[in-house]
Structure 1
Amino acid sequence: MDVTSYVLLSHEQALRRRMDIVSNNMANLSTAGFKREDPLFHEYVEKSGGPDAATRTTSMVLDYGTVHDTSAGTFQVTDNPLDVMIEGPGYLSVQTPDGGTAYTRAGYLKVEQDGSLTNAAGMRVLGERGRPITVPPEQASRLTIGDDGTIRGPDGDIGRIAVTVFDNEGSVDPRGDGTFTGTGGRELTAEQTKLRSGGIEGSNVQPIVETTNMVAILRAYQSSMRMAETLGDMRKSAIDKLGRFG
């Protein structure tokens, strides 16, 4: 396989990766708190052979990962006083089944029979300094959540939902269940926290944009395939002529 074929193959692999990511974005159009992703590619430069190898290079595409779009989704009213949306950057902290910590923007919250405040997946919501929040069962149906994340019942404050931000969003990776893993996060103070109750944050995926991206990727892939076919025809023609000359 010559250098041109390697470059075309590199391009087609990058297009396939882009299509996978766009398809995943579309599949999560209705997922609460989902952040659309974009592929991240780096240029890989390979030196060519020959007497002028020091000056001749070939550029190919290297799949470097993905980056998620941190722009906010729209507020979707649920009329559930426990549902919240984070206004601004940050994530709700939840406790994973193995005792670790994960982060989410999906604000579907509920109180379990034992009084634990959990998300839709049953993971316990963490309050200040990483402590799980427990609600007295008799107050579970009469709770409100303030703008600063403070949970209040008929008898007073119960706890405050923690919001964690990451200065480097590149350290935040999706887990695949509506939650993220991350390192280097810091907890916001009550003054820095801004929650909106009575609804959740919708996905920030824009279907028209993603559909346009799909069409552009398909056309680019078709162009690459046509170029590969043209190069193949040129090789066949050259071999044919050389065979007749011999």
Structure 2
Amino acid sequence: MRVYAEFFCKGLKMDVSSFVLLSHEQALRRQLDVAANNMANVSTPGYKREQALFHEYVEAAQEGPVEDARRTSYVLDYGAVHDISQGAFQATGNPLDIMIEGPGYLNVEMADGSTGYTRVGFVKVLESGELATSGGQRLLDENGRPLAVAVDQLALVKITSDGTVMAGEEPVGRLAVTGFADENLLEVRGDGLLTGAGGTVLAAAQTKLRTGGVEASNVEPISETTHMVEILRSYQTSQRLSADLADMRRRAIDRLSKLG
């Protein structure tokens, strides 16, 4: 958007109002794309609603008919932020499935060996006895190592509220739950996985897990639908303004031709 603004304002001397409306319509399109993606993930466990973020870009011109006309404000697409509010508990019937109540992410081993993070708590036990997500990523303990249970103890595995994995009466280890000061700095990798730096593994006293289900999406369908309707109405208003400007220019040209 900044490139467009510099081109339009510093290059061709054209009707700036049309380009201001264009920047607004591009922002509305971005908002609609984000809202549509939220609606598509309303049933995706662990999904966090996104919200488009915009900044004002002010272009200062050296010339103008009046002082106020020398500054033009455009809409600059700045990115998107996540609504980190917690989703509802969604029962699955699997006693190993977990939901994190409060902040934090489960630590998993990515394909390249690095550490990833997720709030999608579908848990299964691999043939090797290691705990993993439904996507096959191995869950890690507080020391960054995979958690494994002896094969003859697989039927006795359970997870306590502080993340401790038990095989019968014996603790195997504790699931690492990592918190971040700013969760919007995490990079989304798909399938509920995120990557990022600067996290801190939460202590047992700071960790609270609920078993037997996972966290549902925090998208509210009614609110999101209402938001999409508001975006469409704003776009229609912008289109009407654009048509009015075109009509005003056409009348001005007609009058000038008669004067000539």
Asked whether the two chains share a fold, i.e. TM above 0.5, the reply is: yes
2:17 equivalent to 1:4: yes
Structure 1 residues 57 and 30, CA gap change in structure 2 (3 angstroms): same
Structure 1 residues not aligned, in runs of 5+ = none
Q: Which residue of 1 aligns with 2:234?
A: 220
Tell me whether 137-146 or 34-43 shows the greater mean CA deviation: 137-146
Match of 1:30?
A: 43
Q: Determine the C-alpha separation between the residues in 2 that align with 1:59 and 1:33.
A: 38
Residue 174 (structure 1) aligned with residue 213 (structure 2): no
The amino acid across from 1:138 in the alignment is: D
Distance in 1 separating the partners of 2:95 and 2:174: 15
Query: Amino acid of the residue matched to residue 11 of structure 1?
Result: H
2:120 corresponds, among 106, 110, 132, to: 106
- What's 1:162 paired with? 176
CA offset digits 1:108-137 (Å, max 9, x no partner): 000011112111111111111211111222
Partner of residue 250, structure 2: 236
Select which of 86, 105, 122 maps to 1:72.
86
1:122-133 matches, cutoff 5 A: 122-133=136-147
- After TM superposition, give the deviation of residue 245 of structure 1 in Å: 2.1
C-alpha distance in structure 2 between counterparts of 1:73 and 1:10, whole Å: 34
Alpha-carbon separation, structure 2, partners of 1:71 and 1:170: 12
Query: 1:96, CA displacement in angstroms?
Result: 1.0
CA distance in 1, matches of 2:226, 2:192: 25
2:195 & 2:31 partners in 1: Cα distance?
A: 23
Preserved CA contact (<8 Å) 1:47 1:53: no
TM-score after normalising by structure 1: 0.96
CA RMSD in angstroms comes to: 1.5
Distance 2:210 2:34 in 1: 30
Distance of 1:76 and 1:170 partners within structure 2: 24
Say yes or no: does 1:209 pair with 2:223.
yes
Aligned to 2:9: none
Query: Is 126-135 or 103-112 further displaced after alignment?
Result: 126-135
Supply the distance in 2 between the matched residues of 1:78 and 1:226 (Cα, whole angstroms).
Answer: 50
CA–CA distance in structure 1, aligned partners of residues 37 and 149 of structure 2: 37
Separation in structure 1 between the aligned mates of residue 133 and residue 154 of structure 2, nearest angstrom:
15
Question: Measured at CA, do residues 230 and 55 of structure 1 come closer, stay the same or move farther in structure 2, by a change above 3 Å?
Answer: closer
The range that moved more, 214-223 or 147-156, is: 147-156
Deviation digits for residues 197-231 of structure 1 (CA, Å, limit 9, x no counterpart): 11111000000000000000000001001110110
Please report how far the alpha carbon of residue 2 of structure 1 lies from its aligned counterpart in structure 2 after TM superposition: 1.6
Structure 2 gaps, min length 5: 1-13
**Cα displacement string for residues 148-199 of structure 1 (whole angstroms, at most 9, x for unaligned residues):** 1001012511111110000112211221221112221100011111111111
What are the within-5 Å matches in structure 2 for residues 110-121 of structure 1?
110-121=124-135
The runs of at least 4 consecutive aligned structure 1 residues that moved more than 4 Å come to 51-55
Q: Aligned partners of 1:161 and 1:9: how far apart in 2?
A: 50
Q: Secondary structure at the match of 1:113?
A: coil
- Structure-2 change in CA distance of 1:49 and 1:234 (3 Å): farther
Paired AA for residue 65 in structure 1: G
CA distance in 2, matches of 1:236, 1:106: 57
Cα offset for 1:48? 2.8
Paired residues in the alignment total 246
